Amino acid sequence: MASLNEQKPDSSPSTLNGGEELVESHDIEKQPSQPAATDSLSKTLTQTIAPDLEQNVSRTATAPTIQGPKFPETDLDQGLVGWDGQDDPENPQNFAPSKKWALLALISAFTFLSPLASSMFSPAVVFMAEEFHQTNETILAFTVSIYLVGYVFGPLILAPLSEIYGRRVVLSGANWFFVVWQIGCALAKNIETLIVCRLFAGIGGSACITLGAGVVADLFPTELRGMATSIWSMGPLIGPVVGPIAGGFLGEEVSWQWIFWLLLIAGGAMQIGIELLNKETYAPVLIKWKTAKLAKELGRADLKSAYDLGSEPLSNSQLLRRSLIRPALLLFKSPIVLLLSIYMSLVYGLLYLFFTTISDVFTSTYGFSVGLSGLAYLGIGIGFFGGLVFIALTNDRIVQKLTAQNKGKFEPEMRLPTMIIFACILPISFFWYGWTADKHVHWIVPIIGMFPFGVGMMGVFMPIQTYIIDCYPAYAASANATLTATRSLVGAFLPLAGPAMFDSLGLGWGNSLLGFLALAFVPIPIIFTKYGKQIREKWPVNL
């Protein structure tokens, strides 16, 4: 397996500090030996996903490569500290596959829980409104969507911090922050307190959504990132669908407060496991620790991290300032990040507009109970799962084939061709669901009509996320923070206009308007597939 991790089509020692080409250099410093618990988890994961992974590995073993050192190595004569050779086992890119997938699974588990919390409260809002005597529909919708406002602010702070202090400590602190604020939500005595607590819970819950992209870049070579991103993306895309199903029954049978108690219990138990098993994966931070350790042991003040080679020395405050503005720089200086952020925001907003109508349509039009109305979300959920499986099984293979056709040279745009097809599938649901619900066709028909949206959304989101990681691997967390913040902003506020729009246009024309809007954005993946490389090279981002 070590030979696989050495195969990489796009990096060289001269580009270790700059922008795009720091592809596989998020490597790890020496860590204590892996606990027995991690070994157990690794074995379990290996047994469940090993066949597919091993097929991927064997295919990759013959993939075209460009020879040459990829990771900076220690050269004490020059005062540089890096890895102890290209095969250094402490480098996360050289970890055993079972260990890599185990670490990713830890992040993915919490990444499922946090988005679950975003929508789990949605069907139980009616019970909270009764208790707090609240009738304003916009305020009630805001108690749900305010959680996503936390997703706007959290990533912009947490992602840069992870690139200074490392993934592990930032993820740990933010996850506990998420868990603690569930207590405030459960004990809230008025709607104002509930809104504030939901906001802070969202800020903490955004860490796993944001840092997952960085962990993928830290651990996996280009040819395995499609599969890795697919596994990590299950939480953010499936969680909001499972949430209403569980929340509807829990709110109806017990109480709306128990939604938050359940999140507290599950989040706390999960985070304890993460504390015990998780490892730091960000190479520059780990080599910085290694440099400090060697400087102390050898009594040398001249030692410098190889990841700092060619960069001016910065104080902690200067480094923090530069890191905090990095997501904004990526948004406004990179047309790639800007346009794809707009497209993802639109699709994400459409998802939450869907959510504003589903519960009401199936309770008022089809006579479902609040609990049963949550099952209507299965149409989108099954679509998500179908799209995820397809992308997971095909994306890396397509990249390998296109790389071979390109004489062994990988280009990030190779992630995008299938996205064109999915972008065309996505609008179908709005016409299908909207008009069948409007005409009161049998309830199974609008539920099936949601399936194409789920498939299309997954087929759009996952290639974009992997593409952004491949374009800016050194700053994958910050780039993903930009995507997360912009789409969450739209997802938080666009649905507030949903009730008024559907009251005015009806379900048929209201959803058709959304469908036409989705169709208008289909050219974006076509443009990036054809001209993405020229755009990327014409507007490079120096961070």
pLDDT digits 0-9 by tens, 492-535:
888 777 778 888 888 899 899 999 989 998 888 888 888 888 88
Q: pLDDT for 340-369, tens place per residue?
A: 888 888 888 888 787 777 878 888 888 888
pLDDT at 59 over 70: no
Give the pLDDT band (50/70/90) at residue 20.
Answer: very low
Q: What is the mean pLDDT of residues 37-51?
A: 40
pLDDT at 34 over 70: no
Contact 238, 462 (CB under 8 A): no
pLDDT at 122 over 70: yes
pLDDT at 10 over 50: no
Q: pLDDT for 357-403, tens place per residue?
A: 787 888 888 888 877 877 888 888 889 888 888 888 888 888 888 88
Q: pLDDT for 64-111, tens place per residue?
A: 333 445 788 888 888 888 898 888 888 988 888 888 888 888 888 888
Contact 290, 29 (CB under 8 A): yes
pLDDT of residue 24: 36
Question: CA 423 → CA 394, 417, 464, 490, distances in Å?
Answer: 17, 11, 12, 19
pLDDT of residue 316: 65
Give the pLDDT band (50/70/90) at residue 134.
Answer: confident
Name the percent of the chain lying above pLDDT 90.
17
Q: Reduced to 3 states, what is the DSSP secondary structure of residue 372?
A: helix
Contact 230, 387 (CB under 8 A): no
DSSP assignment letter at 87 = T
3-state helix, strand, coil in the chain (%, to 5): 80, 0, 20
Q: What is the mean pLDDT of residues 426-432?
A: 93
Domains of the chain, first to last? 76-287+314-538 (1.20.1250.20)
pLDDT of residue 395: 82
Q: What is the mean pLDDT of residues 37-50?
A: 40
Q: Distance between CA 341 and CA 331 in Å, rounded? A: 8
Q: What is the mean pLDDT of residues 288-302?
A: 89
pLDDT at 482 over 80: yes
List the beta bridge partners of residue 304: 80
Q: What is the mean pLDDT of residues 414-430?
A: 90
In whole numbers, what is the pLDDT of the chain averaged over residues?
80
- DSSP letter string, 201-251: HHHHHHHHHHHHHHHHHHH--GGGHHHHHHHHHHHHHHHHHHHHHHHHHHH
Q: What is the mean pLDDT of residues 56-67?
A: 36
pLDDT at 171 over 70: yes
- Residue 80 sits at φ, ψ, to 5 deg, of -110, 140
Q: Reduced to 3 states, what is the DSSP secondary structure of residue 158?
A: helix
Q: Reduced to 3 states, what is the DSSP secondary structure of residue 1?
A: coil
Q: What is the mean pLDDT of residues 122-131?
A: 85
pLDDT of residue 169: 92
pLDDT of residue 46: 41
Name the percent of the chain lying above pLDDT 70.
85
pLDDT at 61 over 50: no
Helices assigned H by DSSP within 278-334: 283-298, 316-333
Half-sphere exposure of 187 (CA within 13 A, CB side): 6
Give the pLDDT band (50/70/90) at residue 36.
Answer: very low
Q: What is the torsion angle, in degrees rounded to the nearest 10, for the CA atoms of residue 53, residue 59, residue 61 and residue 63?
A: -130
Residue where the block lists tokens 């590995």: 57
pLDDT of residue 435: 94
pLDDT at 294 over 50: yes
